[in-house]
Structure 1
């Protein structure tokens, strides 16, 4: 049972209250720290927003907070550390649910890109940081002419407000009339991309779907997009590019002002772009 269902009979408050959760958790902490080599896992309910239900004091008391995430329609699960008093935070572990139980996925990037279609418009790969680990993710976009007066916007695994902003930038600075179209964004594999490094790949995927022209399957796009359409650099760019090269990609679109001090990556061509117009040109109209 979860910690919210446990109670101490000596307290008058009901199970799940602040005093009960705090008292029961404190008893478990004293048990774990009073005996050497003992680890205690406390299970907590999660509300609709994805955070731990009940009093916030539970997160402050424990040494580590782990979230076990996953889509019920996929076999992959992600173990994410949101708090770690004695180690790094925001690290993840990727597992696959099999008949014999959970099995570690040693290369999440290859897993997330498996089954990617070739020569299909509206798909682009980017590299995001999950803790200290670079992970490649596929962003799919679908842009179609709206049948009604109010175009529909839908995003799965990508922040809705940021997707709406990128669509506005794409129309104003990229010259594509997406305001009259329904637009859909989807992140493959159940990931939730919440860092700006995925902006450029989302814009390129949207443009690819709009003009119905595929992006080369060996191309990756990394960069943050500003409101004027400029490309901003992202942290740990060299580490991301190294992961792109390791997985066999040959081209990578990056912000132009960082291209000069990244060094060389044998077998990988860096395509610098100053704005989304140059990035779309490099991705959709590559030089032969």
Structure 2
């Protein structure tokens, strides 16, 4: 019996069991550290020791009474609430152009639209820093918003473009044949059908923007602190129990947004290419 045939027999007999075991192991490796962070956020002492000797909610109380932390949260919201609509607008325009028109370099345009996903964050961060410096744009709120738009457009586009491209255009034709104007058709037919994908793309863009650190760190000024930057400051010169609380805050926030995204679009839409 060759090694290959032996492996095939094992895979045939025990493949399902092995696959499930590997899945459980992978999920455990992902979620056990997160579980430890959640548990340690209730540790009674500030010493990083596991398991905790006592439990308390005082770190949560301190977090929500910490003016610097609240200010960092508000700064993150101010950036994300501006970057997200811009991202959605750019993604919808791109999706509409890709689905409705044929033009030279269409495939290349789609590739470059999502290209920032595969480029290392540090490389893009350095490139943006050099660009803003060469065109004499001062680092600050504006540069951070621009950086976040560049960061979030590819992710939003991956959801919005398939949603618009896969929309049945014969519905629009039927609506206009019945006498509806192009604007009325878009408002009554097209928009309701593609809106779930647009909202899902916007929510995902908002989540990524709210959690973005690398781009923000490169293009911000020294006075500007988003929540990820504030978290970096806490762990840079020593460990603070507040780090666990902020991590839990991020976890809950992202989980809620992702549940909303998955309720509005399917996993197939998230991975489908236009």
**Bin for the TM-score computed over the shorter chain:** under 0.3
Higher relative contact order (CA 8 A, sep 6+): 2
TM-score (norm 2): 0.20
User: Normalising to structure 1: TM-score of the pair?
Assistant: 0.20
**Greater share of strand residues, 1 or 2?**
1
Structure holding more helix per residue = 2
